Chain A
Amino acid sequence: MDVFVTVALVVTIALFFDFTNGFHDTANAMATSVATGALKPRVAVTISAVLNLVGAFLSTEVAKTISQGIIREGDNGVEISPSIIFAGLVGAVLWNLTTWYLGLPSSSTHALFGGLIGASIIGAGFGAVDFGVLLSKVVLPALFSPLVAGAVALVATFAAYRITRQARSRGSDTGFRHGQTVSASLVSLAHGTNDAQKTMGVITLTLIAAGYQPSGTGPQFWVIVTCGLAISVGTYVGGWRIMRTVGKRITDVQPAQGFAAETSSAATILISSHLGFALSTTQVTSGAVVGSGLGKKLAVVHWGVVGKIATAWVFTLPAAALVGGLTAWLAITSTTGLIVVAVLAAAGAATLFVLARRHPVTHENVNEPAAGNEAAAESATSGR
């Protein structure tokens, strides 16, 4: 009975994590399309949701990304119990909701890793975590991703403006909007094949650990369906707060910039994962937006906003680890402790949703620049 309760809780929170992952990452593919008017907000999230769902079914490989060797499992490692996975997910969900409330794009994958790492340390000691792998697989790629995408998008934006006479030649804005729709859709599809897989991996890991499924088997069909649905519903609900930051507050994205940024993101994401050096989607797209701001004559990049985003990235892993660790400390004691933690986590999540309602960002006001951005809007106009 205890095992069943634990597994049910893990599956529930894993699907909820998948949901937050979806709505956190809508901004990756669609923020610039919404900002430039290439797609109406509702249309953008619908396309992204459908492509995420399709992506979840496309990839048949079992998501082993989750462990990726950071947490030492197996014979000479530690036993990862469902309680530890549960605690890790609580850390990831709460951090995802916090950054969503603040309107900051941050990597859901890092939040998940952070939560699991924190929970494993509490559950099994520091030896459970391979810090070398952590550095080479998570920390350093996180530093490169925005730099690579930013440099690529900078030159691409410059070229796009140069060739189209500062986007003044006839039909260029419309043309860039069409192009951007296509490259943003590719980013969405790539996202679906990656991120839904992570939750499938977590749920499958739990079912195996609890003895409900033989080890070495892939995700069951109901797991694939529910994960795909959770991420696409999350995407459809849309993280409008984050979209506003990426599309309007880093820099006021214009069609040529949006096209250059999304194409650079799509190219960087696809090529890096193809060559086996996967870079984070969130960090690539955010970096590309900054690059597209730098590549346009007289466009303003708000470094204050960029700084806040960078700070959030630095804190993502440790913060999620801290929450995951605290949760693990309570949760591994007993089933009662686990349920207490579940109630506390639900209360924390509800608090953030209530707080967010005080200054709601919806599909209606997603394109409003922030207060104090008038200067930016002005110089963007004069630069055309």
Chain B
Amino acid sequence: MHTPSVLAAAASGGSFLGVDWGAFVVVFLVSFAAAVVIVASYALGLRLLAVGSDDDAGADGALTSGRQGARPAGVTVGAYACFALGGAAVLYGLYLIIPQFH
């Protein structure tokens, strides 16, 4: 996470109406990337856990029922890796919130 502070430092030159627009853009981009990556990975984890279940949904959203198969181990591992990313993000969030950690 060193990139944002570097960017913020580099961009903090320009200010207009007293607002540091460079910092604003950095906040926007970092928030955007973080939220989208976390949400997408958590959703992907949920989706992977549903693989092979009897009521898994196909690409069109229709249910592909009847074909109940075991979930490959790799898929399960992938799902938990996705959740682990979310867990790491929560821990980093706690680190940011609690000043005693800095």
Contacts and interface: CB of A to CB of B under 8 A. Distances in A.
Interface of A: 55, 58-61, 132-133, 135-137, 140-141, 144, 148-149, 151-153, 155-157, 159-160, 163-166, 168-172, 175-176, 179, 182-183, 186, 189-190, 193, 256, 259-260, 263-264, 266-268, 270-277, 279
Given A58-B97, A189-B97, A271-B30, A172 B20 contact: no
Given A58-B99, A171-B46, A275-B8, A160 B40 contact: yes
B91 to A, nearest CB: 11
B27 A277 contact: yes
B39 A58 contact: no
5 contacts: A183-B90, A186-B94, A267-B34, A268-B35, A274-B96
Chain A interface helix/strand/loop/mixed: helix
Given A152-B31, A169-B57, A264-B35, A179 B49 contact: no
A263 B39 contact: yes
Nearest to A190: B97
B75 interface: no
Interface string B35-73: 110111011111101100101111101010000000000
A288 to B, nearest CB: 9
B36 A152 contact: yes
B42 A165 contact: no
Contacts of A272: 27, 31
The 5 closest A-B pairs by CB, nearest first: A136-B18, A169-B50, A163-B43, A156-B39, A267-B35
B35 A170 contact: no
A178 B43 CA distance: 12
Interface of B: 4-5, 8, 17-20, 23-24, 26-28, 30-32, 34-36, 38-40, 42-47, 49-50, 53, 55-59, 61, 63, 86, 90, 93-94, 96-100
Contacts of A276: 8, 23
Nearest to B44: A163
Contacts of A275: 4-5, 8, 23, 26-27, 30
A25 to B, nearest CB: 16
A156 B31 contact: no
B31 A268 contact: yes
Given A58-B98, A155-B32, 9 more contacts: A60-B99, A159-B36, A159-B39, A164-B50, A165-B59, A168-B57, A171-B49, A189-B94, A266-B93
Contacts of A266: 93
A41 to B, nearest CB: 24
A301 B81 CA distance: 34
Contacts of A260: 35, 39
Contacts of B20: 277
B61 A165 contact: yes
B83 to A, nearest CB: 9
A152 B42 contact: no
A226 B93 CA distance: 27
A267 B31 contact: yes
Given A156-B36, A168-B61, A179 B47 contact: no
B90 A160 contact: no
